A and B are shown apart, each in its own frame.
Chain A
Amino acid sequence: MRLSRLWFIFPLAALALAFAAAGCGGSSKSDSSSGSGGELVFGTASDPVALDGALVSDGESLRPIDQMFEGLVTLKEGTTEVVPALATSWKADAAGTSWTFNLRENVKFHDGTDFNADAVCFNFDRWYNFKGPFQQQSATYYWQTVFGGFSDKKTPSLYKSCEAKDDHTVVINLTKPSASFLGALALTNFTIASPEALQKYGADKGSVDEETGFKPTGSYATQHPTGTGPFKFVSWTRGDRLVMEKNDDYWGDKAKLDRLIFRPISDNAARLQALQSGEIEGYDLVEPQDVKTIEGDDNLQILDRPAFNVGYVTINQKVPPFDKIEVRQAVAAGLDREAVVKNFYGGRGEVAKAFMPPSLEGYADDVQTYPYDPAKAKSLLQKAGVQMPLKVDFWYPTDVSRPYMPDPKRNFEAFAASLNKSGFKVVPHSAPWSPDYVGRVDEGKAGALNLIGWTGDYGDPDNFIGTFFQQPTDQFGFQNEEIFNTLNKAERETDASKRTELYQEANREIMKFLPGVPYVHTKPALAFQSSVKGYVPSPVSLEPFSIVSIEK
């Protein structure tokens, strides 16, 4: 055995390599800006699940799909305003159930096949006819949220049929009028895929096993996603990278970048360091405590994504005396919302006036407001004829951090202190977020007051105040026909400007009636190299990389 000599050689060689790397590392630093547009590497929090918009609901899948696919309509960059995409114009009939879309001409899928009315109907029919495991919420959450059921009619569906009138005119028939339908079509989930690629690469092929569910055997969603967008798929290695390249045959403004690469880096600190070392050009979900570091670095920049969530205090009117408006107003006046937002959100929060974020259509700035005023709270309680201090069961969740509520306990403690100064006597209660707390709140079993919030699914006011207040719920425990009616009317109204007015009206009614107290919207931060230009953050994270460029 002459092992002993070898033992020395390996580690020394490793060390030598390390030093050599250190010596000449600088020279081989990324030579990214070859070609005109260059390459952009974006750090994501995780891998996509699959690259088939119809079958995913997670943001990390939707982000790349967004770059490669387009729907009939899309949202104007940075807003929730619906604008043309694959459809150039559209019209609903008087009943609001039949929508005619005029399609863009001379558009081709990445596989060279034509985009036309048949392709649109093929996609709609595919979604409508999903069976078995495809009907799981984990697969078709957004179809079920927007359209309800499937062709097997187990549950009613909003979708009725799709007709190709001619090559470039398509009619989509609904079973009842819905105004949120158009906005929902801007969802990445309803982007149009090449029918030929879907079939050729077996998008819906796989075995259904009673025990293990759906096992896909096709390669469509992993190796052959085929849309019409400004980027096309190149390759995907799980855990490592997803590569896309510029679509030179794109019908609109072509992408400025030559290649776009998404690299999953799940650790927050690692994403920051990868940005600092120049391995990636940007990432989102920046931790609030890292914002200052990034802002202090001349090579880096922070962009704000408009708030798309709301943190609020529920007031359950089933619990007397909270059915009295004066008592609810006293709660609002007794919550020191400014202090909570200022102290616990690292500069990423803004005080909420209403139950939906300001970036959404239908937001009203002139709603009734309730500044912190303990004296006023006490006088309101007196007016309501209740004995002070008024005992109140106040719940908060544990083991959870949400964007709108990074540390629920701190929010609770601050709110409890300010309420105790305002004529209340807070009795604290808590439960672990999942599964107990959320269930309790939904079932109205979380005291008179509780901390909760909501992150929007899609850019429509219906997804905020419609979800909360369109019908009686155990959570809020009230009946208010005026509010229900306004929201029902708004949901059915197909005229965009009238619809906006109705939602504004609803917001005013809600904040007057005070079914709860919204207190915060938070703005997520994105970080980029300073050389990255043209990135427009969107409240619903629908952010096209095609308009992004790197300027050295």
Chain B
Amino acid sequence: MFKFIVRRLLLLVPILIGLSFLVFIWIRALPGGPAEALLGERATPEAIAQIERNYGLNKPIHIQYWEYVKTTASGDLGTSVTTRRPVTDELKQRFPATIELAIAAMLFSLLGIPLGFFAAKHYGRAIDSASLFISLLGVSIPIFFLAILLKYVFAVQLGWLPTTGRVDARIDFDHPTNFYLIDSLWTGDFSIFWDCVKHLILPAIALGSIPLAIIARITRAAVLDVQNEDYVRVARAKGLSPREVDSRHVLRNALLPIITIIGLQTGLLLSGAVLTETVFAWPGMGTWLVDAIRSRNYAVLQGGILFVSVIFVLVNLAVDVTYALVNPRIRVS
């Protein structure tokens, strides 16, 4: 197991090098540059040249890349052109916001497991068709549309939930870790924690809807598969209660494909977060990167995308490890 993890971690190095190169080239292929974006429509050529000199954008691209690799390797992700702050500082603030949202969305999407299980148990009946229909809807509604719809119903019409940000703009509290749920609990004021939770609900539902639908479908299929296996029949025959059979034999064996899909979906959550965060003005990685694309903020794009990639790879590794834990056969190979 240890060797397995080390090998996977070592694989990170070539992945990151390749990725950093792709991101570097791709960003520079965007039309317009940071100087133009910064200076606006009537920038003089001299002013543009000056900015390019100051940010080293006038050098040959391979030298720019080499310098970028050198500074990145030393842990310096550069300075944001627009805010004039170190990218790492901004990352520390943005990343927890996205993680909090992604975890909440993932938890929401896990509702797909009972939903799928329930559907499989009532195979062919109305409840099964209903759950199929719901999951089809979940997969096919675009996130931003669902988000606007959710906000319209729960915020604008009913006034139950807020639509933007991580906490009400009128509430002030210290957030040293930038994980607002933890920080707000730390204040000891439950109303602040509650406000943070309320702000999390709609974005988490919007972001988690697609994974929920997919997880539900996979669970249903897996459970249907497993419950006709011989060992399930044996378990029933030896007189175990239906609950015992379901939890110890059916669900546990059905979990394998479900975990795989959860892992894949977790990665996708990070990309889905870009849209969700924009629509909910959620101050995380998504809004940060979108703003960076608009302003051709190379340092933020490079640093941010590289960081997200590392997370993506690590999440996949964690999924594989979990998989190996659940299924001992994997470890052998």
Listed in ascending order, the chain A residues whose CB lies under 8 Å from chain B are 1, 3-5, 7-8, 10-12, 14-15, 17-18, 21-22, 25-26, 28-30, 32, 39, 41, 43, 46-47, 49-50, 133, 135-138, 141, 210-216, 222, 234-235, 237-241, 243, 259, 261, 263-267, 269-270, 273-274, 276-280, 432-435, 438
Evaluate contact between B161 and A438: CB separation under 8 angstroms.
Answer: no
The answer to whether B324 has its CB under 8 Å from any CB of chain A is no
Contacts of B143 on A, CB cut-off 8 Å?
none
Per the bound structure, the CA–CA distance linking A29 and B67 in Å amounts to 51
Other-chain contact of B54, A10, A50, A136 (Cβ < 8 Å): A136
Q: Which of B130-138, B192-200, B263-271 contacts A (4 or more CB under 8 A)?
A: B192-200
Q: A214-B54, A266-B281 are in contact. List 5 more A-B contacts (CB 8 A).
A: A12-B111, A50-B83, A211-B55, A213-B81, A267-B281
Across the interface, name the chain B residue whose C-beta is closest to A57.
B40
Contacts of B124 on A, CB cut-off 8 Å?
none
Q: How far does the Cβ of B101 sit from chain A's closest Cβ, in whole Å?
A: 13
Across the interface, name the chain B residue whose C-beta is closest to A39.
B170
Per the bound structure, the CA–CA distance linking A101 and B232 in Å amounts to 93
Evaluate contact between B32 and A434: CB separation under 8 angstroms.
Answer: yes
Quick one: given A18-B205, A28-B194, A39-B170, are A270 and B114 in contact (CB under 8 Å)? no
Evaluate contact between A14 and B108: CB separation under 8 angstroms.
Answer: yes
Other-chain contact of B110, A7, A30, A274 (Cβ < 8 Å): A7
Contacts of B54 on A, CB cut-off 8 Å?
133, 136, 210, 212-214
Contacts of B205 on A, CB cut-off 8 Å?
18
Q: What are 29 pairs between A and B in contact, CB < 8 Å? A: A1-B252, A4-B255, A8-B114, A11-B108, A11-B110, A14-B104, A15-B108, A17-B201, A21-B197, A21-B198, A21-B201, A28-B194, A41-B169, A49-B82, A211-B56, A212-B55, A212-B299, A213-B55, A240-B169, A265-B164, A270-B280, A270-B281, A273-B164, A277-B155, A279-B155, A279-B162, A280-B169, A435-B32, A438-B41
Per the bound structure, the CA–CA distance linking A133 and B325 in Å amounts to 56
Evaluate contact between A49 and B83: CB separation under 8 angstroms.
Answer: yes
Q: How far does the Cβ of B32 sit from chain A's closest Cβ, in whole Å?
A: 6
Contacts of B161 on A, CB cut-off 8 Å?
21-22, 25
Evaluate contact between A261 and B104: CB separation under 8 angstroms.
Answer: no
Contacts of B51 on A, CB cut-off 8 Å?
136-138, 213
Contacts of B290 on A, CB cut-off 8 Å?
266
Evaluate contact between A32 and B111: CB separation under 8 angstroms.
Answer: no
Contact digits for B153-187, partner A, Cβ 8 Å, 1 yes 0 no? 01110111111111111101001000000000000
Contacts of B50 on A, CB cut-off 8 Å?
135-137
Per the bound structure, the CA–CA distance linking A214 and B90 in Å amounts to 17
Across the interface, name the chain B residue whose C-beta is closest to A55.
B84
Other-chain contact of B169, A5, A18, A273, A279 (Cβ < 8 Å): A279
Evaluate contact between B163 and A279: CB separation under 8 angstroms.
Answer: yes
Evaluate contact between B172 and A28: CB separation under 8 angstroms.
Answer: no
The answer to whether B151 has its CB under 8 Å from any CB of chain A is yes
Evaluate contact between B94 and A239: CB separation under 8 angstroms.
Answer: yes
Other-chain contact of B164, A210, A216, A237, A279 (Cβ < 8 Å): A279
Evaluate contact between A4 and B164: CB separation under 8 angstroms.
Answer: no
Across the interface, name the chain B residue whose C-beta is closest to A235.
B172
Contacts of B67 on A, CB cut-off 8 Å?
211
Evaluate contact between A22 and B160: CB separation under 8 angstroms.
Answer: yes
The answer to whether B152 has its CB under 8 Å from any CB of chain A is yes
Q: How far does the Cβ of B242 sit from chain A's closest Cβ, in whole Å?
A: 15
Contacts of A26 on B, CB cut-off 8 Å?
159-160
Q: How far does the Cβ of A141 sit from chain B's closest Cβ, in whole Å?
A: 8
Tell me how many residue pairs across A and B have CB atoms closer than 8 Å: 205
Which residues 92-136 of B sit at the A interface, judged by CB distance below 8 A?
A: 93-94, 97, 104, 107-111, 113-114
The answer to whether B326 has its CB under 8 Å from any CB of chain A is yes
Per the bound structure, the CA–CA distance linking A136 and B170 in Å amounts to 37
Across the interface, name the chain A residue whose C-beta is closest to B282.
A239
Other-chain contact of B84, A28, A216, A234 (Cβ < 8 Å): A216
Other-chain contact of A267, B109, B197, B279 (Cβ < 8 Å): B279
Across the interface, name the chain B residue whose C-beta is closest to A1.
B326
Per the bound structure, the CA–CA distance linking A433 and B42 in Å amounts to 11
Per the bound structure, the CA–CA distance linking A237 and B175 in Å amounts to 10
Per the bound structure, the CA–CA distance linking A278 and B175 in Å amounts to 25
The answer to whether B260 has its CB under 8 Å from any CB of chain A is no
Evaluate contact between A434 and B291: CB separation under 8 angstroms.
Answer: no
Evaluate contact between B94 and A261: CB separation under 8 angstroms.
Answer: no
Across the interface, name the chain B residue whose C-beta is closest to A234.
B172
Contacts of B280 on A, CB cut-off 8 Å?
270
Quick one: given A8-B114, A238-B83, are A279 and B168 in contact (CB under 8 Å)? yes
Evaluate contact between A50 and B84: CB separation under 8 angstroms.
Answer: yes
Evaluate contact between A22 and B154: CB separation under 8 angstroms.
Answer: yes
Contacts of B56 on A, CB cut-off 8 Å?
210-212
Contacts of A222 on B, CB cut-off 8 Å?
85
Evaluate contact between A29 and B278: CB separation under 8 angstroms.
Answer: no
The answer to whether B140 has its CB under 8 Å from any CB of chain A is no
Per the bound structure, the CA–CA distance linking A8 and B195 in Å amounts to 25
Contacts of A18 on B, CB cut-off 8 Å?
201, 205
Across the interface, name the chain A residue whose C-beta is closest to B246.
A4
Which residues 276-329 of B sit at the A interface, judged by CB distance below 8 A?
A: 278-281, 283-284, 287-288, 290-291, 299, 325-326
Quick one: given A49-B82, A238-B83, A278-B159, are A263 and B55 in contact (CB under 8 Å)? no
Contacts of A280 on B, CB cut-off 8 Å?
164, 169
Contacts of A41 on B, CB cut-off 8 Å?
169-170
Q: How far does the Cβ of B46 sit from chain A's closest Cβ, in whole Å?
A: 9
Quick one: given A4-B252, A238-B283, are A25 and B198 in contact (CB under 8 Å)? yes
Contacts of B90 on A, CB cut-off 8 Å?
238
Contacts of A1 on B, CB cut-off 8 Å?
252, 325-326
Q: How far does the Cβ of B260 sit from chain A's closest Cβ, in whole Å?
A: 15
Q: How far does the Cβ of B118 sit from chain A's closest Cβ, in whole Å?
A: 11
Other-chain contact of B111, A3, A14, A22, A211 (Cβ < 8 Å): A14
Across the interface, name the chain B residue whose C-beta is closest to A399.
B31
The answer to whether B78 has its CB under 8 Å from any CB of chain A is yes
Quick one: given A18-B201, A21-B201, are A12 and B41 in contact (CB under 8 Å)? no
